[in-house]
């Protein structure tokens, strides 16, 4: 019986640490400007924490090996019989995936064959160590391969819709569609030639786009995203936004060649939808688009960079009306 008493005595003699002494907590590190910018873009793009990817029998994920790399896209189901619905081809930006178009695919998938590729390196589209596979020319080849797979006859009219960096790919694709090009919808993004002119003539745009210069630094943005991916990402895999950063590098490297190019103004109608409170891109002017297209209409909407997510109903209605109007005009010709 003595052992328990001794143990109890020893416990009584233990001196507790003084509560009067305050424990100094290490100061939280302030986020770097690069991390803060990436975090803001990711959080804005991902939407509310409770928002889930589309779950619909009408929309499914497809994939194809394109020039040695697995390439994925979302697509509405093909209707039985002769399906001649026009194609709405959605191209997402950074740091998005094809799921950023979920609200458009669901709303517009009945009257149109909707297709939304995952850009190169955005999971589940396979990444590549070759920087050229993230460039404009490679994007055109990937997107044409998807279109040819979806519409082997090549007869369906195509409306291309791009957002952010997807606008770069959208302009490049529409220039290669010929008579199939039914229209182009631009949502808060620019053609490379347009961006190049802005950087030279509008200093404020250069200031707003400072992060593009930082993205040229090898490995730094990727390391930041990998380190803070758990805090930044709510839904998609980290690789879905790490690899596509290479688009910025490929685009910048192609700027000298783009500056020498003299693209003819496209003939199909262009609808520009712009969230007026975009923190990264200045609102467009009519003169800018008149240099690129013969028939461009600009609509400035309340909202920020991701208006297709934040104001989905309004954007869906504008896209639907634009596509139907263009199709009606094609039948009249």
Copy the structure tokens of residue 124: 């589940």
pLDDT digits (tens, 9 = 90+) for 279-320: 999 999 999 999 999 999 999 999 999 999 999 999 999 999
Q: How many structural domains compose the chain?
A: 1
Query: Cβ contacts of residue 64 below 8 Å, gap of 6+?
Result: 70, 71, 145, 146, 149
pLDDT digits (tens, 9 = 90+) for 71-107: 999 999 877 667 788 999 999 999 899 999 999 999 9
The reported pLDDT for the residue numbered 3 is: 44
Residue 33 lies in a domain: no
Copy the structure tokens of residue 41: 């873009």
Q: What is the CATH number of the domain that holds 193?
A: 3.40.50.1820
Range of the domain at 127: 53-332
Per-residue confidence band for 219, with pLDDT thresholds at 50, 70 and 90 = confident
DSSP string across 185-229: EEES---HHHHHHHHHH-HHHHHHTHHHHHTTSSSHHHHHHHHSH
pTM (2 d.p.):
0.81
The reported pLDDT for the residue numbered 18 is: 43
Query: In 3D, which of 142, 150, 139 has the Cα closest to residue 180?
Result: 150
Mean pLDDT, the chain, as a whole number? 82
Residue 224 lies in a domain: yes
Residue 107 lies in a domain: yes
Asked if omega into 95 is within 30° of 0 (cis), the reply is yes
The reported pLDDT for the residue numbered 19 is: 43
Residue 95 lies in a domain: yes
Query: In 3D, which of 199, 212, 107 has the Cα closest to residue 165?
Result: 212
Residue 31 lies in a domain: no
At residue 286, the 3 state secondary structure works out as: helix
């Amino acid at each position: 019986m003595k052992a328990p008493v001794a143990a109890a005595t020893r416990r009584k003699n233990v001196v507790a640490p003084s509560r009067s002494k305050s424990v100094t907590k290490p100061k939280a590190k302030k986020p770097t400007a690069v991390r803060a910018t990436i975090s803001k873009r990711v959080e804005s793009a991902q939407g509310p924490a409770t928002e889930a990817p589309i779950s619909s029998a009408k929309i499914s994920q497809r994939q194809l090996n394109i020039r040695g790399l697995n390439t994925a896209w979302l697509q509405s189901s093909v209707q039985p019989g002769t399906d001649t619905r026009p194609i709405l081809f959605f191209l997402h930006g950074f740091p998005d995936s094809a799921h950023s178009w979920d609200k458009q695919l669901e709303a517009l998938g009945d009257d149109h064959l909707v297709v939304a590729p995952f850009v190169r390196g955005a999971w589940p589209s396979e990444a590549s160590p070759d920087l050229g596979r993230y460039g404009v020319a490679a994007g055109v080849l990937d997107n044409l391969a998807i279109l040819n797979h979806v519409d082997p006859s090549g007869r369906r009219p195509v409306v291309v819709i791009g957002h952010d960096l997807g606008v770069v790919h959208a302009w490049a694709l529409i220039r290669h569609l010929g008579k199939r090009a039914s229209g182009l919808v631009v949502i808060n993004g620019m053609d490379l030639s347009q961006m190049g002119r802005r950087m030279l003539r509008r200093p404020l745009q250069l200031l707003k786009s400072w992060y593009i210069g930082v993205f040229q630094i090898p490995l730094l943005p990727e390391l930041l995203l990998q380190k803070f991916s758990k805090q930044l990402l709510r839904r998609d895999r980290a690789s879905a936004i790490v690899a596509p950063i290479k688009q910025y590098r490929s685009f910048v490297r192609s700027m000298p060649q783009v500056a020498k190019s003299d693209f003819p103004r496209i003939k199909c109608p262009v609808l520009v939808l712009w969230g007026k409170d975009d923190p990264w891109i200045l609102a467009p002017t009519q003169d800018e688009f008149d240099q690129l297209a013969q028939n461009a209409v600009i609509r400035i909407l309340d909202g920020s960079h991701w208006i297709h997510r934040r104001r989905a109903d309004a954007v869906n209605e504008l896209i639907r009306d634009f596509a139907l109007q263009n199709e009606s005009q094609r039948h009249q010709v």
